[in-house]
Structure 1
């Protein structure tokens, strides 16, 4: 068994698509209309056959409440790995991304947290192996 896809709930799929592609640098894997919403996934430009990230609408009241609670408590919904966290934070800040936690070393990793503008905090992690 291996991981195929993980999802992040978003308050607006079009806004999320713009942020995750134009700001973060992911590329679209699937964009299939499904009535009011879309089956919308993105992948790393460096690993187009890798794990897909679903940009899921938070239309269900339970998902919206969960998302709001995590944001209010400052808890990241998911994490992305990077090779050079200082460079990535600098690149994203230059693109206007707001960080709620600057890079911090913890054990064998350095972590930072940013706001994805779609209702989530996302953690960046650089592992020191």
Structure 2
């Protein structure tokens, strides 16, 4: 039985570094590794496409705009204890864009991957 995935593409500076980041620190599983150009990693039903500079996903648009890492659109990963996750990731030397914010639906914080792409860690209210 095949599993259906929601797929998101991130443009990354270094595919092997990104594979290591997502699989070692955020619990993703390597699905496909095409070297420096491309890889895909999965977590539950999320498939994250990591597109390096040599991938088709990173090619310039007809008007000359070049896809680059970063921005504010992001994947959201649900965590059960945001404070312990943040502590674990900070000890691993990772950078956050902000501190934990508490909102009406739960708590969130933005983490940067090695290329500067944002990842939201979210703990829903219990």
- TM-score range, shorter-chain basis? 0.7 to 0.9
TM-aligned CA deviation for residue 7 of structure 1:
2.1
Instruction: Give the structure-2-normalised TM-score.
Output: 0.76
Bigger proportion of residues as helix: 1
Bigger proportion of residues as strand: 1
Question: Please, which runs of 5 or more residues in structure 2 have no aligned partner?
Answer: 61-65
111, 118, 123: which is aligned to 1:121? 118
- Aligned alpha-carbon RMSD (Å): 2.1
Question: Please, which runs of 5 or more residues in structure 1 have no aligned partner?
Answer: none
Residues 53-85 of structure 1 show CA distances to partners (whole Å, capped at 9, x for unaligned) of 111225334312xx35x2xxxx35322211111
- Number of positions where the alignment pairs a residue of Structure 1 with one of Structure 2: 114
Of the structure 1 ranges 101-110 and 50-59, higher mean CA displacement relative to structure 2 is found in 50-59
Instruction: Give the structure-1-normalised TM-score.
Output: 0.74
TM-aligned CA deviation for residue 111 of structure 1:
0.4
Provide the C-alpha distance between the structure 1 equivalents of 2:124 and 2:109, rounded to a whole number of angstroms: 12
Structure 1 runs (4+) greater than 6 angstroms displaced: none
2:89 is paired with a residue of what secondary structure?
A: helix
Provide the C-alpha distance between the structure 2 equivalents of 1:37 and 1:55, rounded to a whole number of angstroms: 8
User: Quick check: 1:41 aligned with 2:36?
Assistant: no
